[in-house]
Amino acid sequence: MSEAAFPPIGDYALIGDSRSSALVSRAGAIEWLCWPDYASPSVFAAILDRERGGAFSIGSASQARTSRRYLDDTAILETLFTTADGRFRLVDFMPIPTDRTLQPQREILRLVEALDGTPEVDVHYRPRPDYGRKAPRIASRGRLGWLVEHRGQTFRLTSDIPLERNGGDLSGRIRLMTGERRWLTLTHVCADVGIVPPHGAEADRKLTATAEWWRHWTGHCTYRGPDAAMVRRSVITLKLLAHILSGAVIAAPTTSLPEVEGGSSNWDYRYCWLRDASLTLRAFADLGFIDEGAAFLRWLLLASARTHPELQVLYDVYGRTRLHEVELDHLSGYRGARPVRVGNAAETQLQLDVYGQVATAAADFAMRDQVVDSHERRLLTGFGDVVCRRWCEPDNGIWEVRGGRRHHTFSKLMCWVALDALLRLYEDGAIAVDAARFASVRDEIRETIETRGFDSELGSFVGVLDEKLLDSALLLMPRYGFIAADDPRMTGTYRHLVEKLGSGGFLRRYCAAFDPMNASEHAFGIVGFWAVDYLARAGRIDEAESRFQALLGEANDLGLFAEETDAGTGQLFGNFPQAFTHVGLISAALALEAARARAHGDTRRSAIA
């Protein structure tokens, strides 16, 4: 395969079971899968190297047109192939365990079903464990399938379609009659009993049970606004990225998909960023998914206890902190974008905004009549002490700029937010703090932001104290209660950011001088939705609605967003799909709904955002 064979990033679909996930191309190939966990080494990584990465494809043997969708309110993917000989559908999903029967530790089910005519189907299986470092030996076990054993792990493929060796891989071709159905199953076990799940009725049962599970779960969504389908797709995507065993939410299921074509800003996002905490928790909770929000906060506080009282920028789903960055020189990278990285060096950065994120998440949680226990109270108090001690230090900022530290205005803002949230918890009797000290420092931070973080000449808040750099994160100032959205200083900030960083409905997150290493980046998904949030809070509903609809139009055909979008072509860039962008979509939809309610005098619904 050549580099030109790489599909666009927006051509991929996500399937998963809230423990791991996979990307499936429009052509029916699984080109990214890490087992057993999100951040485990890959089994298939053709998305990063067409030759060495490995893939598991099921597609048409002849030229075909494809279309696809998720079955309504589920994470079950259906790809429809239309050929000269007939049509067939490919259904891909990871089953959700819904009973106590013995199951493999991880499982992907793939159903091929001829809808009409006699379509011919091709299967190619090229497993490449450990990021494609070595082509494994595939052993036949007769009716029990094909085995790959690698470092204590067993990958088993069973297939109703006859497969034969093709070099070191497996291939098969079959012509199906109308109505004919064939199952293929890939499973994984490690240090556990090997399970060979049966096909036929049992596979059908898993498909039905998984669809019912997703629809029951999605049925808890309380959003009833005009964009309900997109909001539900976003929260399903977040659920796929929320680790069911710990409650952690990863930023994205992939690594090293570039932020610009052929660029070097290729990062591993298969971890949990505390910067996403409060917005993610509110996205779940405001849609009625209280359990998911609570699980995330519990993970947040449990993980952060390991580094208490200091907070690290990111953790893995189990709260581990050693996420050393390594470059995989043997992989070509997506369309030649190198290096391919695993791990993330942001683990060593100082980002003071994370204290505000954690404190706000805890305060929001407590306000929903949830209990903060004594251990969590001590953690939160300790975070406040750190803020009082370190808020005046320069840091790397929310965007993890790799270079010298600066006095980022947004970091100061979130330190103010942290102390304000902790003082509210104190006033509610939830925690005990040195209130006088916290209040004094909080007021000192506000004065600093208002005097050194606002540029009178520009009429705008600025990204770095005493400088004129731009940062779209400042659009969140009204959301966090620092300033009213219609305050002239905020109105000027919005106008300045849109003028300098905007293009159509899109917005870049900062100016080129802010991060010289990433000066050519595209429009950043979540900051576009933050602009919608700002406009809604300012009561500029028509403008907010217009921007929101423009942004929704840039999702792929399945409603999925990447981290960035080329404002000129609409092409998606960066790791995919991106939880932060989907959180932004949900937050903007809720803010718009609340603004509409305020405009109609509905005080109950207007309180949501």
DSSP conformation letters of 349-369: ---THHHHHHHHHHHHHHHTT
Give Cβ neighbours of residue 551 (< 8 Å, ≥ 6 apart).
505, 506, 525, 528, 529, 532, 585, 588
Q: Is the peptide bond before 577 cis (omega within 30 degrees of 0)?
A: yes
Task: Please check whether residue 126 is in contact with residue 54, taking contact to mean a CB–CB distance below 8 angstroms.
Answer: yes
Report the Cα–Cα distance between both ends of the chain, in Å, rounded: 49
Helices (H) and strands (E) in the chain, counts: 14, 27
> Which of 204-218, 220-234, 295-309, 341-355 is least confident?
295-309
464: left (phi over 0), alpha (psi -120 to 50) or beta: beta
Nearest Cα neighbor of 334 from 221, 255, 231 is 255
Sole residue written with tokens 């299967």? 123
In sequence order, what E strands does 441-484 have? 454-455, 460-461
pLDDT at 336 over 60: yes
Task: Please check whether residue 123 is in contact with residue 161, taking contact to mean a CB–CB distance below 8 angstroms.
Answer: yes
Is residue 479 helix, strand or coil?
coil
**Which one has a higher pLDDT value, 402 or 523?**
523
Mean pLDDT of the chain: 93
Per-residue pLDDT band for 248 (boundaries 50, 70, 90) equals very high
Sole residue written with tokens 């906060």? 297
> Which of 72-81, 190-199, 373-382, 588-597 is least confident?
190-199
- Neighbour-count burial of 325, counting CB atoms closer than 10 A to its CB (0-12 exposed, 13-18 middle, 19+ buried): middle
Task: Give 177's Cβ-side CA count (13 Å radius).
Answer: 0
Give Cβ neighbours of residue 261 (< 8 Å, ≥ 6 apart).
335, 337, 573
**Which one has a higher pLDDT value, 114 or 379?**
114
Mean pLDDT across 345-373: 85
pLDDT at 518 over 70: no
pLDDT at 557 over 90: yes
Sole residue written with tokens 């399970």? 195
Tokens of 41: 């080494």
Structure confidence at residue 405 (pLDDT): 92
pLDDT at 607 over 70: no
Structure confidence at residue 375 (pLDDT): 81
d(CA 530, CA 533): 5
Other Cβ atoms closer than 10 A to 98: 15
pLDDT in tens, 308-325: 888 888 999 999 988 999
Q: Which helix (H) or strand (E) holds 292?
A: helix 290-304
Can you list the alpha helix ranges (DSSP code H) found in 474-524? 488-501
pLDDT in tens, 9-43: 999 999 999 999 999 999 999 999 999 999 999 99
Sole residue written with tokens 């080329």? 566
**Which one has a higher pLDDT value, 607 or 111?**
111
Q: Is the peptide bond before 394 cis (omega within 30 degrees of 0)?
A: no
Measured in whole angstroms, the distance separating CA 596 from the mean position of its chain's CA atoms is 28
Task: Please check whether residue 26 is in contact with residue 65, taking contact to mean a CB–CB distance below 8 angstroms.
Answer: no
Per-residue pLDDT band for 372 (boundaries 50, 70, 90) equals confident
Tokens of 27: 């052509």
Task: Please check whether residue 594 is in contact with residue 608, taking contact to mean a CB–CB distance below 8 angstroms.
Answer: yes
Task: Give 31's Cβ-side CA count (13 Å radius).
Answer: 25
d(CA 147, CA 153): 10
Nearest Cα neighbor of 217 from 270, 300, 284, 283 is 284
Structure confidence at residue 270 (pLDDT): 97
Per-residue pLDDT band for 374 (boundaries 50, 70, 90) equals confident
pLDDT at 3 over 60: no
Q: What letter represents residue 134's amino acid?
A: K
Mean pLDDT across 461-470: 96
d(CA 342, CA 39): 8
What is the percentage of the chain residues whose pLDDT exceeds 90?
76
- Neighbour-count burial of 243, counting CB atoms closer than 10 A to its CB (0-12 exposed, 13-18 middle, 19+ buried): buried
Structure confidence at residue 529 (pLDDT): 97
d(CA 432, CA 540): 40
3-state secondary structure 529-598: HHHHHHHHHCCCHHHHHHHHHHHHCCCCCCCCCCCEECCCCCCEECCCCCHHHHHHHHHHHHHHHHHHHH
Nearest Cα neighbor of 315 from 341, 283, 343 is 343
Nearest Cα neighbor of 567 from 524, 535, 519, 515 is 524
Structure confidence at residue 107 (pLDDT): 97
pLDDT in tens, 118-168: 999 999 999 999 999 988 999 999 989 999 999 899 999 999 999 999 888
Nearest Cα neighbor of 46 from 59, 62, 58, 57 is 57
Structure confidence at residue 2 (pLDDT): 47
Mean pLDDT across 517-521: 70
